[in-house]
Homo-oligomer: A and B are copies of this chain.
């Protein structure tokens, strides 16, 4: 059981873990989604305030028969013209020595710190560059969702480096080293009106400022990704190229269906695609992957390579739970 971050909240799920080897442990950075219990007459929503620097949480109780209350969808609640969300996520560390059995910290690792995070912090990716760890995550607010960056050496002291990809943008995967003098990242802008949401690539001199944005691959490459695609975990360097596991969304019988795909990018120029899988490496099959909060979703943003050959894929099922799949690195690379 994961302890809620506040006495008035209940944990709805712990999902989409970032993952990294740190000292002798594997760390997962879980997205812990929390909401408030609902009574017969009342709903309650968590509200973060940032008037005095750091974020402070209060709970707003609303009568269901309040004429100024409007429940927009399963998550959004409007009261007196102000938008709230019924569920807000924070990031929480879990630790393991074997990569399989984890203990979850009692307290959050990161809760919303400023107004760009008022509706939560979600979906961490962790990458080690030299002796620092960089954590990018989705910052959600009334201004949509963007990607922000933290730097740490010890997973205790955190330096906030700002929003690196402005809204609407998520699924950011930073490469773990400079390539020809520049840092690179995959990112996923929302595609408004024209086509479908695709994976882009960008460059940076310092990890904080990004430019040279280009669309790298579009969806509809096969039947598993007819609707949209997005980056998964930070790419892993292999002898054959940068290995990226990404997600594809398609519709089956009119319902969302997410699976995991493989992409291989050129070591010297990651804007060049060497290989793109025709079939998924993981599709929702097991009961916990097909039945849950959002059925038929497998989603990955953390991978750890152990002993240079064993790949641990920490993925999420049904936007609700965190799971582990294991394979040999070479099994994903068809070259």
- Interface residue ranges, A against B (CB under 8 Å): 83, 115-116, 119, 140-146, 161-169, 187, 189-195, 198, 200, 202-206, 208-215, 218
Cβ–Cβ contact B166 & A198, under 8 A: no
Chain B residues with CB under 8 Å of A143's CB are 189, 191, 194-195, 198, 200, 215, 218
A212 — nearest CB in chain B belongs to which residue? Answer: B162
Q: Say which residue of B119, B141, B166, B193 sits within 8 Å of A169 (CB atoms).
A: B166
Q: Say which residue of B163, B208, B212 sits within 8 Å of A214 (CB atoms).
A: B163
Choose among A140, A145, A208 the residue with the greatest number of B CB atoms under 10 Å from its CB.
Answer: A208
The 9 A-B pairs at the shortest CB distance, nearest first, are namely A209-B209, A166-B213, A209-B211, A162-B212, A142-B195, A163-B213, A168-B192, A208-B211, A143-B215
Cβ–Cβ contact A206 & B205, under 8 A: yes
Q: Say which residue of B190, B203, B211, B212 sits within 8 Å of A192 (CB atoms).
A: B190
Cβ–Cβ contact A194 & B119, under 8 A: yes
Chain B residues with CB under 8 Å of A212's CB are 162-163, 208-209
Bound Cα distance from A30 to B126, whole angstroms: 45
Cβ–Cβ contact B116 & A166, under 8 A: no
Cβ–Cβ contact A211 & B162, under 8 A: yes
Bound Cα distance from A205 to B161, whole angstroms: 14
Nearest chain B CB to A200 CB, angstrom units: 6
Cβ–Cβ contact B213 & A209, under 8 A: no
Nearest chain B CB to A72 CB, angstrom units: 10
Chain B residues with CB under 8 Å of A218's CB are 142-143
Cβ–Cβ contact A191 & B163, under 8 A: no
Nearest chain B CB to A177 CB, angstrom units: 18
Cβ–Cβ contact A194 & B142, under 8 A: yes
Cβ–Cβ contact A146 & B213, under 8 A: yes
Chain B residues with CB under 8 Å of A141's CB are 194, 215
In the assembled complex, 16 residue pairs joining A and B whose CB atoms fall closer than 8 Å, in A order, are A116-B214, A141-B194, A143-B189, A143-B195, A143-B215, A144-B194, A144-B195, A145-B192, A162-B213, A166-B169, A166-B189, A167-B191, A168-B189, A205-B209, A208-B211, A210-B211
Bound Cα distance from A209 to B206, whole angstroms: 9
A210 — nearest CB in chain B belongs to which residue? Answer: B209
Cβ–Cβ contact B209 & A116, under 8 A: no
A190 — nearest CB in chain B belongs to which residue? Answer: B192
Cβ–Cβ contact A144 & B213, under 8 A: no
Q: A143-B218, A144-B189, A204-B209 are in contact. List 7 more A-B contacts (CB 8 A).
A: A161-B211, A162-B211, A163-B214, A166-B169, A166-B187, A203-B209, A209-B212
Cβ–Cβ contact B190 & A190, under 8 A: yes
A183 — nearest CB in chain B belongs to which residue? Answer: B209
Bound Cα distance from A146 to B214, whole angstroms: 10
A115 — nearest CB in chain B belongs to which residue? Answer: B215
Bound Cα distance from A302 to B286, whole angstroms: 58
Chain B residues with CB under 8 Å of A163's CB are 211-214
